[in-house]
């Protein structure tokens, strides 16, 4: 990647805290069951009046303040989301309006839970050609697409947004390498079946519940266990570092029990794995930037630390970034 650096981070979580007992009530599961299966203890769900762009804009404001720049300095806004405000136009244009970022190009990226890494790569490509500053946002509002009776999914997800500001600078956190992967042959493992051109959202689809998020949990776990360690090791080799060089691991916050099982396979013996899922659950494309922001604001990162970021999820897809703090 070119010498574009992360100048600031930000996050936003809705005010409403939803306990495991509340989230699992309709599905017939309780706090003990959910915690034992996922390590999640609570999550945030958005208010009725909030849309994905509202969460995204709030996170963006925090990131802009952290970076010390204003919205009118932005050349591009990229929003990673799989829960857009509307099928069209892109959610990013609503964020542009909220921020008053006149003149910024604005578009969405949908790589589900890997989306923010894909968005990071896209924004860097724009800046490499045009210069200026970019706002990269991961934002999802999964509470609107969950089947409250499906215990396999309703307990896993929360709402939130995280943001990064990129720009040319001598100081700041350098994105040293990025790699993106897609596995379309496994696209059926995670999906919202209806609402697109393949299957319009008509009355039959609504009655069948096809407007809701659906996931084959066991197959997704197998995918992560089978692919993530191999892809991560390949990525580090391509980036010219070894696992012992990594000080921090910031993964997509999918499921704490699954991450605990996979982490030893990565051989990151000197790395700290960062979690926010216990209090925020899986926030989709927002989970990586939320966790990065939380760790940064807690002072966990020191200058020169290498951070391995790993996004993975629907598509199926995986995205990795190596950040030098």
The verdict on 51 and 181 lying in the same domain is no
User: Which of 49, 45, 54, 43 lies closest to 79 in space, CA to CA?
Assistant: 54
Q: Which of 170, 201, 223 is the last residue of a domain?
A: 170
pLDDT of residue 171: 73
Does residue 252 have an active-site annotation?
yes
Pair (139, 16) in one structural domain:
yes
Q: What residues are paired with 133 via a beta bridge? A: 74
The total number of structural domains that make up the chain:
2
Given a cut of 90, whether residue 168 has pLDDT beyond it is: no
8 A C-beta contact, residue 74 and residue 132: yes
Q: Which of 133, 248, 252, 274 is catalytic?
A: 252
The reply to whether 107 and 252 lie within a common domain is: no
Please give the mean pLDDT across all residues of the chain: 96
Q: What is the mean pLDDT of residues 190-199?
A: 95
pLDDT confidence band for 129 (50 / 70 / 90) = confident
Domain boundary among the residues 108, 143, 170 is at 170
Task: Please tell me whether residues 180 and 166 are part of one structural domain.
Answer: no
- Residue 100 and residue 56 share a domain: yes
Active-site annotation holds for 282: yes
Measure Cα distances from 255 to 6, 38, 100 in Å.
Answer: 27, 5, 36
Q: Is 15 helix (H, G, I), strand (E, B) or coil?
A: coil
pLDDT at 1 over 60: no
3-state secondary structure of 37: helix
**Could you tell me if 14 and 50 are in contact, meaning their C-beta atoms sit under 8 angstroms apart?**
yes
Looking at the fold, whether 145 and 194 belong to one and the same domain comes out as no
Q: Is residue 299 scored above 60 in pLDDT?
A: yes
Catalytic, out of 20, 110, 255, 282: 282
Q: Active site includes 133?
A: no
| Structural domain that includes position 238 | 176-324
Q: Do 154 and 188 share a domain, yes or no?
A: no
Answer yes or no: do 203 and 318 share one domain. Answer: yes
Q: Is the pTM of this model over 0.85?
A: yes
Q: List the Cα angle 202/205/206 in 5-degree steps.
A: 85
Taking phi first (over 0 means left), then psi (-120 to 50 degrees means alpha), and beta for anything else, what does residue 322 get?
A: beta
Shared-domain flag, residues 318 and 205: yes
Out of 110, 113, 133, 248, the active site residue is 113
């Amino acid at each position: 990647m070119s010498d574009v650096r992360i100048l600031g981070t930000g996050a936003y979580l809705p005010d409403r805290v939803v306990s495991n007992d509340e989230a699992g009530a309709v599905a017939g599961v309780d706090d003990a069951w959910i915690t034992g299966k996922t390590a999640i203890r609570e999550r945030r769900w958005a208010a009725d009046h909030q849309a994905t762009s509202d969460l995204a804009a709030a996170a963006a404001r925090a990131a802009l303040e952290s970076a010390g720049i204003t919205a009118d300095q932005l050349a591009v806004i990229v929003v990673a989301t799989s829960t857009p405000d509307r099928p069209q136009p892109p959610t990013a244009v609503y964020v542009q309006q909220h921020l008053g970022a006149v003149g910024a190009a604005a578009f969405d990226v949908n790589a589900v839970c890997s989306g923010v890494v894909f968005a990071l790569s896209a924004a860097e490509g724009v800046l490499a050609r045009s210069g200026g500053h970019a706002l990269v946002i991961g934002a999802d509002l999964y509470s609107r697409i969950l089947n409250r009776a499906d215990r396999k999914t309703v307990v896993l997800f929360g709402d939130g947004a995280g943001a990064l500001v990129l720009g040319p600078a001598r100081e700041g956190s350098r994105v040293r390498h990025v790699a993106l992967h897609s596995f379309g042959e496994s696209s059926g493992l995670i999906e919202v079946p209806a609402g697109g051109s393949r299957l319009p959202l008509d009355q039959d689809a609504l009655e069948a519940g096809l407007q809701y998020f659906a996931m084959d949990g066991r197959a997704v776990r197998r995918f992560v266990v089978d692919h993530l360690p191999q892809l991560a090791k390949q990525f580090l080799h391509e980036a010219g570092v070894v696992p012992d060089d990594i000080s921090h691991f910031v993964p997509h916050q999918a499921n704490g029990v699954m991450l605990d099982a996979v982490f030893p396979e990565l051989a990151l013996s000197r790395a700290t794995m960062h979690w926010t899922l216990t209090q925020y659950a899986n926030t989709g494309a927002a989970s990586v930037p939320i966790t990065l922001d939380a760790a940064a604001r807690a002072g966990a990162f020191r200058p020169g630390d290498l951070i391995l970021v790993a996004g993975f999820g629907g598509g199926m897809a995986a995205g990795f970034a190596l950040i030098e703090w």
